[in-house]
Amino acid sequence: MDFILATTNDHKYHELKTLMPNINLIKATDMVEVDENAPTFLGNALIKAKALYDILKMPIIADDSGLCVEALDNKPGVKTARYGSDVFNRILESSERNEYLLSNLKNETNRNASFVCTLVAYISPNRIYSVTEEVKGLITKEQFGVDGFGYDPVFFLPELDKTMAEIDKDTKGLYSHRGKAAKKMNNILENIK
């Protein structure tokens, strides 16, 4: 069964394609603009999946993921990709979002955070599967590493003594929120017809 991945983000596509080797993922060539206004990662993943399914009438995989920082009342949360945009009146580049996050935690001792990922497989309106996973870590005081994307340079994994941006993609797949969710979704989809 082919699945259209509801993203035009190359990083996310290649990461999920690697993490779900037994599923034929096809990157959406164009994404319908949707208002991701749900208060949860699951809600936003469902919005994206349904919108693309309504157009293509094909099985869709959609994800919504983000960073939840304890000291910021679990923000940026579902607004992770747009974090700081309301302050600067534009969409920030990843490194700018990281610097904005670090500035908001400058005097904070609680650096606990979680990366969260929800994956939805929308096969039809009556066949929907979802998985949500997280990885816990700490927010660093500066950016480290060049691999990965998004908040990876500021998300520290104590068990590896490295940020997500300092580990190779195979190791990241074992530890990351998206890696954990993709593994579970891969197992679900392998066993359905």
Q: Is 63 a catalytic residue?
A: no
DSSP notation for the chain: -EEEES---HHHHHHHHHH-TTSEEEE-SS--------SSHHHHHHHHHHHHHHHH-S-EEEEEEEEEEGGGTTEEGGGGGGTTHHHHTSPPPHHHHHHHHHHHTTT-S--EEEEEEEEEEEEETTEEEEEEEEEEEEE-SS---SSS-TTGGGEEETTTTEEGGGS-HHHHHHHSHHHHHHHHHHHHHHT--
In angstroms, rounded to a whole number, what is the distance separating the alpha carbons of residues 188 and 57? 21
Max Cα distance, the chain (Å): 53
Which of these is catalytic: 54, 64, 152, 168?
A: 64
Active-site residue set = 64
